[in-house]
Structure 1
Amino acid sequence: MHVGVFDSGIGGEAVAARLRELLPQAHVVTAHDHPNVPYGSRSEDEVYRLTKQAIQPLLSARCAVIVLACNTATAAAIDRLRVDYPNTAFVGLEPMVKPASTLSASKTIVVCATPATLLSQRYQRLKRDWTAGITVIEPDCSVWAEIIETRRADQVDLDPVIRAVQREAADVVVLACTHYHWIKLQVESAVGSHVTVLEPSDAIAAQIRRITSAIRGH
C-alpha cells in the first residue's frame, strides 16, 4: 500500500523516515513545497491552496493514505481536502495537547508551534477541551522552521523553552511542527531528562494501521 507524506519542507522527511521504520510493509512516498516554505505565517486560504497543489503527485501515485505532516496545513486544509478527495484517507497532525495535559504533573506545559497553528481554530479547540487547570506556555518559535529548513538547526534559540522549564516548572514540551522533529534531541538535552518531549510520529503510524486495516476489511 502506498502512503503519502506531505510537508511544506524538510519536516516531512523526518516523519517519513519514522513511518518506514514502523510500517515496513508500506511504500512511503513524500511530497514537499520548498519554494513556499514556511507555511506558518500564511493565511488559511493560501495554505489550503498551496497544500492542494503540492499533494497532486501523491494523488497521482494513488496513495491510499496521505499524511499532512504539517500542523499548519492540517489546521488550514484537511477538512476541505477530505471534501475535495473523498476516496483518499487523510491523516493530519495536531499539537499533542491532550497527552501533554494528561502527562503533566506540574500542570504546566510548553507548546512549540508556528504562529498559524497557534491562531488556528483546531488548536484553540484543543486548548479549550483539554487544558482546564493547565498553564500553557507558547514561546516565540516563529523563525524556527525557516532556520531548520535552511539546515541551521544548531542555531535554533531554545532559551525561551529552557526558561519555561526552569521558571514555570513546565514538565512537558510539545513539538507542534514537523520541522521541530529534527531538533528533538537538542530540546531533550536542553530541558533535561525530567521533562517529556512529545512529537506525533508513533501516533501517526498507529492511525495509518487502523485505516489500512479498515480498508483491507472492506
Structure 2
Amino acid sequence: MKLGVFDSGIGGEAVADALRKTFPGAEVLVVNDRANVPYGGKSPETVLCLTDAAIQSLLASKCDVIILACNTATALAIDALREKYPAQKFIGIEPMVKTAATLTRGKIVAVCATSATLASARYKRLVRDYGAGLRIIEPDCGEWASLIENNLMNRSHIQKTIEGVCEQGADVIVLGCTHYHWIKELITELAAGRARVIEPSEAIGRRVKTLLALD
C-alpha cells in the first residue's frame, strides 16, 4: 500500500507519522510546499493552483490514497481535485465540528483554524450541519502556522488564546490546522482539564481503512 500525504508545510509530517504507526507496512510519501507556506491567507484560486502543482509527484507515484493533510487545501481545493482526477482516491482534513458536537457538555466549543478555513464554504457547511445549538468560538490563530513553520512558536503566543476560550466556557478545542498538531500537548497543558483538545489523526487512519476496504 502506498499513501501520499500533502501539506503546505510541516504539519503533514505529524499526519504521516500517525499513518506509519497505523500502517507499518505501508509506503508513506510526503510532499509539502514550504516555499509558499502558509496557505491560510491565500485566495481560493491560489490554494487550488498550488495544491494541484504540489501533488503531481504523488499522482505520478500512483498512490492508493492521497491525503490532503491541510485544512485550508481541503476546504478550498479537494472538490476540484476530485473532479479533475476522478480515478484518484483523496482524503481531506476538516475541523472536527461533528465530533466536538458529540463531546461538548456545555455546548460551547472553540475551533482553532486559519482564516481561509473559517471563511470557506466547506467549513460553513460543517457548522450548519453539525453546529446547531452550539456556540462556536473562532479565536484569531492567523499567525500560528507561520510561527510553527519557522520554529518561533512559544507558550506566550498561545496562552492568551487558550485562556480566553476556556474562560468563555469552551470544553472542547478543535485543532483545525495540521500545523497545530505539533503544539497539541502544550494546548492540552494550558487547557488544564477545562477543555478536551481534539485533532483528526486517528480518524484519517480509519478513513483509509474504509476507503481501501482493509477491514
Q: CA deviation at 1:157?
A: 2.5
| 1:34 aligned counterpart, secondary structure | coil
1:185 aligns with 2:185: yes
CA distance in 2, matches of 1:13, 1:199: 14
Q: CA deviation at 1:132?
A: 1.4
1:164 aligns with 2:165: yes
CA distance in 2, matches of 1:163, 1:39: 25
**1:163-188 superposed Cα distances (whole Å, 9 cap, x missing partner):** 1102x111000000000000000000
Unaligned residue ranges in structure 2 (runs of 5+): none
CA distance in 1, matches of 2:22, 2:141: 29
1:175–1:181 contact (8 Å) kept in structure 2: yes
| 1:1-218 pair list within 5 angstroms | 1-154=1-154, 156-166=157-167, 168-213=168-213
Q: TM-score, normalised by structure 2?
A: 0.96
1:38–1:146 contact (8 Å) kept in structure 2: yes
CA distance in 2, matches of 1:180, 1:161: 13
| 1:181 aligned counterpart, secondary structure | helix
CA distance in 2, matches of 1:140, 1:154: 16
Q: TM-score, normalised by structure 1?
A: 0.95
Instruction: State percent identity of aligned pairs.
Output: 50
1:2–1:64 contact (8 Å) kept in structure 2: yes
CA distance in 2, matches of 1:201, 1:157: 21
2:11–2:180 contact (8 Å) kept in structure 1: yes
CA distance in 1, matches of 2:67, 2:20: 13
Q: CA deviation at 1:103?
A: 0.5
Q: CA deviation at 1:161?
A: 2.1
| 1:47 aligned counterpart, secondary structure | helix
CA distance in 1, matches of 2:94, 2:17: 19
Q: CA deviation at 1:154?
A: 2.1
Amino acid at match of 1:179: H
CA distance in 1, matches of 2:135, 2:108: 5
Aligned length: 214
2:166–2:194 contact (8 Å) kept in structure 1: no
1:42–1:116 contact (8 Å) kept in structure 2: yes
**1:12-53 superposed Cα distances (whole Å, 9 cap, x missing partner):** 001100110011121111000000000000011110000000
| 1:203 aligned counterpart, secondary structure | helix
CA distance in 1, matches of 2:211, 2:132: 31
Amino acid at match of 2:40: G
Q: CA deviation at 1:212?
A: 1.6
1:153–1:182 contact (8 Å) kept in structure 2: no
Q: CA deviation at 1:66?
A: 0.2
Unaligned residue ranges in structure 1 (runs of 5+): none
CA distance in 1, matches of 2:2, 2:165: 41
| 1:29 aligned counterpart, secondary structure | strand
CA distance in 2, matches of 1:68, 1:158: 29
| 1:36 aligned counterpart, secondary structure | coil
CA distance in 1, matches of 2:201, 2:82: 21
Amino acid at match of 2:97: V
